Amino acid sequence: MNEKALIDDEHYENTTLRDTTVIQPENIVYEKPKTLKDADFHYCPGCAHSVVHRLIAEVIEEMGIQSEVIGVAPVGCAVFAYNYLDVDMTEAAHGRASAVATGIKRVLPDKYVFSYQGDGDLAAIGTGETIHTCNRGENILFIFINNGIYGMTGGQMAPTTLPGMKSTTSPFGRDVSTMGNPLKITELIAALPGTYYVTRQAVFKPGLVRKTKKAIQKGFELQKDKKGTCFIEVVANCPSNWKMTPLESNHWLEENMLPFYQLGDIKTPNGSNN
């Protein structure tokens, strides 16, 4: 996370709409969703968080459900998600986002509720909450960003760090004999009857971005069925903490992360896998 993360909330409150009158309305082919606040993302260049935030905002806008959505932000790089997504949001303690989302959904069962969490949050400190929320089949949507590392605290080993992968707390590479193997929590929760739709996506190529958006839309739409938990993992890069350029990190992701974290649907409402 770069220094802009340290900018106060008021920065966002005071930011005014930029002058766009140089572009005539009829010439606009692409613009910021109205469900995205007019604030600069604090995320590092090339980070997947910005892309996924935008996709969530696009889906909420296109579905016309802004007034019916409540989001839960995690502890991690996305802690300030509420500075960007223009929906009501609650900022949870580290690991507890799905318990917070459960509380909201149980008292507002007809609203759309999602939690947005990273791998350390969802698959380490919050493993208990993640499993039990899915096991109860809470009608919420998880959006799970897996970049195999702790971003905000500066690049420590995550539960999802690949074997041999270097981090500040596995400086010689993750040794699975002492540090354990990376946790495929998505496959784990897919085995629970409470989950309804489980998929793994990525956003480092345009085609994949479009597929991820469709998955997010499906995740929101399926909440209406009230038949269980929807869970979308996005395999993501972390150029800053992987010590790579954005482009290098995308290549590394494709070559190293994807063979282990294979993309595709893991569980769908009609029962078909992949």
Partner 1 sequence: MSELKLMKGNEALAEAAIRAGCDAYFGYPITPQSEVLEYLSREAEARTGMTVLQAESEIASINMVYGAAGTGKKIMTSSSSPGISLMQEGISYIACAELPCLIVNVNRGGPGLGTIQPAQSDYFQSVKGGGHGDYRLIVLAPSTVQEMSDFVKLSFELAFKYRNPVMILTDGALGQMMEKVEFFEQQPREDIITGWETIGKPDDRPSNVITSLHIQPDKMEQINIHLQKKYKEIEENEIRVEMIDCEDADYIITGYGLVARICQKAAQMAREKGLKVGVIRPITLFPFPYETYFNIADKVKGILDVEMNAGQMVEDVTLAVKGKIPVEFYGRMGGMVPTPEEILEALEQKIIGGAK
Instruction: Using CB under 8 A, list all residues that contact partner 1.
Output: 5-6, 8-10, 37, 66-70, 72-73, 79-80, 82, 85-93, 96, 99-104, 106-108, 111, 128-129, 132
Q: How far is the CB of 155 from partner 1 (least distance, A)?
A: 20
For partner 1, which is the closer residue by CB, 52 or 72?
72
Beta bridge partners of 118: 145
For partner 1, which is the closer residue by CB, 111 or 166?
111
For partner 1, which is the closer residue by CB, 10 or 19?
10
Q: How far is the CB of 237 from partner 1 (least distance, A)?
A: 25
Interatomic CA distance for residues 25 and 5, integer angstroms: 33
Q: CB-hemisphere CA count at 13 Å for 32?
A: 16
Interatomic CA distance for residues 218 and 145, integer angstroms: 17
Residue 139's CB: how many other CB atoms inside 10 A?
25
85-105 in b/e form (b: 16+ CB < 10 A) is: bbbebbbbebbbbbbbbbbbb
Contact 7, 79 (CB under 8 A): no
Contact 253, 235 (CB under 8 A): yes
For partner 1, which is the closer residue by CB, 99 or 198?
99
Looking up tokens 């459900």, which residue turns up?
A: 65
- SS3 percent helix, strand, coil of the chain, rounded to 5, is 40, 20, 40
For partner 1, which is the closer residue by CB, 33 or 148?
33
Q: How far is the CB of 22 from partner 1 (least distance, A)?
A: 27
For partner 1, which is the closer residue by CB, 64 or 259?
64
Q: How far is the CB of 138 from partner 1 (least distance, A)?
A: 10
Q: How far is the CB of 194 from partner 1 (least distance, A)?
A: 12
Please give the structure tokens belonging to residue 175: 């040794």
Q: How far is the CB of 39 from partner 1 (least distance, A)?
A: 12
